[in-house]
Amino acid sequence: MCGIIKRFPGVLANDCVDFAVHQGEVHALLGENGAGKSTLMKVLYGLYRPDDGEILLNGEPVQITSPTDAIRFGIGMIHQHFMLVPSLTVAENVALGLPSSRGVITDLDRVSKRITELGKTYGLQVDPRARVWQLSVGQQQRVEIIKALYRGAELLILDEPTAVLTPQEVAEFFQILRQMVKEGHSVIFISHKLQEVLDISDRVTVLRDGAVVGSRLKGTMTKAELARMMVGRDVGFQRNRAPVTPGEVRLSLHDVWARSDRGTDALQGVSLEVRAGEILGLAGVSGNGQRELAQVINGLRPVARGHVQLEGKDTTGVSPVELIAQGLAYIPEERMRDGMIRDFSVAENLILREHATAPFARRGFLDFKAIARVAAGHIVDFNVKTPSQETLAKNLSGGNIQKVILARELSREPRVIVAAQPTRGLDIGATIYVHERLLDERSRSLREEKRHGAAILLISEDLDEILALSDRIAVIYEGRIMDIVPSEEATPERLGLLMAGVTKEV
Ligand SMILES: Nc1ncnc2c1ncn2[C@@H]1O[C@H](COP(=O)(O)OP(=O)(O)OP(=O)(O)O)[C@@H](O)[C@H]1O
Ligand SMILES: [Mg+2]
């Protein structure tokens, strides 16, 4: 890609970018949220027309004006946000858009067979007949990869593929990538996790504010240097967790059972308590009931048996709206679906929870001045990169969408916070900021009559994050809490065993 320029209203997303990928390499693209990584890749995949610049493939200039062109040239892309149709099966999703020579039914059988083959070859097992809405985030990711491989991708663009994978899945996934480059495929890999980038990449290119800052070859870069290139200053990797004496129990679950979308028992007698001024980390491999647990607490999924209590009051079966009014904040895992309204502006998304109350609404009318004032404050506080408040949320970069949700949820001084994968997809600077904000909420003490900070349930698959922030750590496995340990006694090894369902030393 030579001299690529791409403008959006109010933003220069790609500022004369030169970017080259060799055959048989993993080339990582790094940069802060909003640096222009996804935009550059969408240009390569034919989703955006560049304002200037050209694309050369094997030395020949090519016109890529649509994903169909890209696929014809052997370019596959897996997006940061999934593009699957939830109501269709895996096989139907893979078949979607493929030229079909024969009847749909026979084609689907053939597609299913090939999916199973690809699954075997690359270790990407998934049931071709399962409906996508029933799959975990990690499984949906696999479908996306299979879809690209199915179409014969030679150059595979992976936009934050590991953000949704568990550590074990990442290891398997890297095996697949290594296999692919060995066979001559090329991979462009976008990630905010520097250790992963160092592990898998042959080369790294860093973008900042739409322009290339530099490129480095494997073995010539360190984490600290990459971070400095991205952010433009030194970055600390340590968190300060000041000691806090926890207060009263704010959130408790007693023997809670709930069903998954598939009708299985996703939660099997979960009991736990979170106190004011405490972060309880919930560690576990994705798909072990974390999602259902968060939904049950937030009134988004029925409780089959047992009780949920908020500040001593039974809230089992209480509606999400009432729970919000009682001071519950929720940072959902699937933000595009559960966290925001794509076609609303940034400002509207920022006040989504409180749009019906003062100061935003008066006698049934929205007070746009009040909305603009509060939104402006949130945008500054959380460093949301957006051309304006009126920009539609769907036009923000992935990490900035996350910042909008965090700003909205944390700015209400909630009594209880359920944070599911709160830093997934965030760059280093934003991750540090969110960690500090969560720690602030925890120790927000002695303010008015509130003697303690919020009670925080932190659901994360990132063990480093769990270990850095939590006061106590619970491990969930197949819908049951395996153990709850004080964070001083927790080690990655001990947690890892519990996450695999092992209770006693073997
Ligand atoms: N369709 C669009 N319309 C308007 N602005 C856009 C659009 N797509 C991206 N932008 C803007 O272009 C800039 C670059 O966004 P991009 O999505 O490429 O960032 P990114 O590096 O992928 O960030 P992240 O790590 O958060 O995913 C951002 O300021 C974003 O708001
Ligand atoms: Mg992006």
Ligand 2 centroid–CA 425 distance in Å is 8
Ligand 1 atom with minimal separation from the 425 CA: 25
334 in any annotated domain: no
Neighbour order of strands in the sheet with 211-217: 75-78, 155-159, 186-190, 26-30, 203-208, 211-217
In this structure, which residue's CA is closest to atom 16 in ligand 1?
36
Worst-scoring range by mean pLDDT, 74-83, 168-177, 360-369?
360-369
- Model confidence at 237: pLDDT above 70: no
Question: Is there a single domain that holds both residue 401 and residue 275?
Answer: no
- 118 vs 274 pLDDT, higher one: 274
Closest-lying ligand to the alpha carbon of 40?
A: 1
pLDDT tens string 119-159: 887 767 789 999 998 887 778 878 888 888 888 889 999 99
Q: Indicate the residue among 363, 383, 411 that finishes a domain.
A: 411
Whether residues 176 and 276 share a domain: the answer is no
Asked if residue 242 belongs to a domain, the reply is no
Question: What pLDDT is stored for residue 125 in this prediction?
Answer: 77
Tell me which of 225-239, 249-263, 374-388 is least confident.
225-239
Does 233 or 114 have the greater pLDDT score? 114
Distance 217 CA to ligand 2 centre (A): 23
Structural domain contains residue 431: yes
The answer to whether residues 472 and 275 touch, using CB atoms and an 8 Å cutoff, is no
What average pLDDT is seen over the chain? 88
Whether a cis peptide bond, with omega within 30° of 0, leads into 359 is yes
Whether residue 109 is found in the same domain as residue 206: yes
- For the cut 80, the answer to whether the pLDDT of residue 389 exceeds it is yes
Note whether 265 and 401 are same-domain residues.
no
Same domain membership, residue 215 and residue 290:
no
Amino acid identity of residue 261, one-letter, is D
The answer to whether residues 37 and 183 belong to one domain is yes
Q: Is the pLDDT of residue 105 over 80?
A: no
Q: Of 231, 264, 291, which residue constitutes the final position of a domain? A: 231
For ligand 2, the distance from its centroid to the CA atom of residue 500, given in whole angstroms, is 32
Question: Has residue 238 been placed in a domain?
Answer: no
Is there a domain that residue 266 lies in? yes
Best CA proximity match to 3, nearest among 46, 56, 52, 44: 52
The CA 489 to ligand 2 mean position distance, Å, reads 37
What is the reported pLDDT for 358? Answer: 67
- Answer yes or no: is pLDDT of 204 > 50: yes
- CA of residue 90 to ligand 2 center, whole Å: 25
pLDDT of residue 506: 46
As given in the structure block, the two tokens for residue 492 are: 């990655």
Q: Which conformational region is residue 269 in: left (phi greater than 0), alpha (psi within -120 to 50 degrees), or beta?
A: left
Is the residue at 379 inside a domain?
yes
Domain assignment present for 175: yes
Instruction: Report the pLDDT value the prediction gives residue 102, as an integer from 0 to 100.
Output: 56
97 and 225 share one domain: yes
When pLDDT is cut at 50, 70 and 90, the band that residue 103 belongs to is low
pLDDT tens, residue by residue, 242-297: 777 889 999 999 999 999 988 899 999 999 999 999 999 999 887 899 999 999 99
Q: Is residue 243 part of a domain?
A: no
> Could you tell me if 364 and 456 lie in one domain?
no
Q: Say what the pLDDT of residue 187 is.
A: 95
In this structure, the answer to whether residues 356 and 503 fall within a common structural domain is no
Pocket of ligand 1 contains residue 6 by CB under 6 Å: no
Given a cut of 80, is residue 357 above it in pLDDT? no
Structure tokens at 388: 């304006």
Any atom of ligand 1 within 6 Å of the Cβ of 33: yes
Question: Does the structure show a pLDDT above 90 at 170?
Answer: no
Relative to the CA of 160, which ligand 1 atom is closest? 27
What is the share, in percent, of the chain residues with pLDDT greater than 90?
48
The number of domains in the chain is 3
Predicted confidence (pLDDT) at residue 351 exceeds the cutoff of 90: no
Summarize the confidence of residues 227-241 as an average pLDDT.
78
Please give the Cα distance from 293 to 258 (Å, whole number): 8
Domain termination residue (choose one: 231, 265, 292): 231
pLDDT of residue 160: 87
Question: Which residue lies with its CA nearest to atom 17 of ligand 1?
Answer: 397
In a shared domain, residues 49 and 69? yes
Residues 355, 323, single domain; the answer is no
Query: Which has the closest alpha carbon to 22: 59, 54, 49?
Result: 59
What is the extent of the structural domain holding 101?
A: 2-231
Residue 396 has pLDDT above 60, yes or no: yes
* Unique residue bearing structure tokens 């998954």: 260
Pocket test for ligand 1, best of 43, 79, 396 (most atoms within 8 A of CB): 396
Do residue 212 and residue 313 come from a single domain? no
Pocket lining: 8 vs ligand 1, CB cutoff 6 Å: yes
Which CATH number fits the domain that encloses residue 114? 3.40.50.300
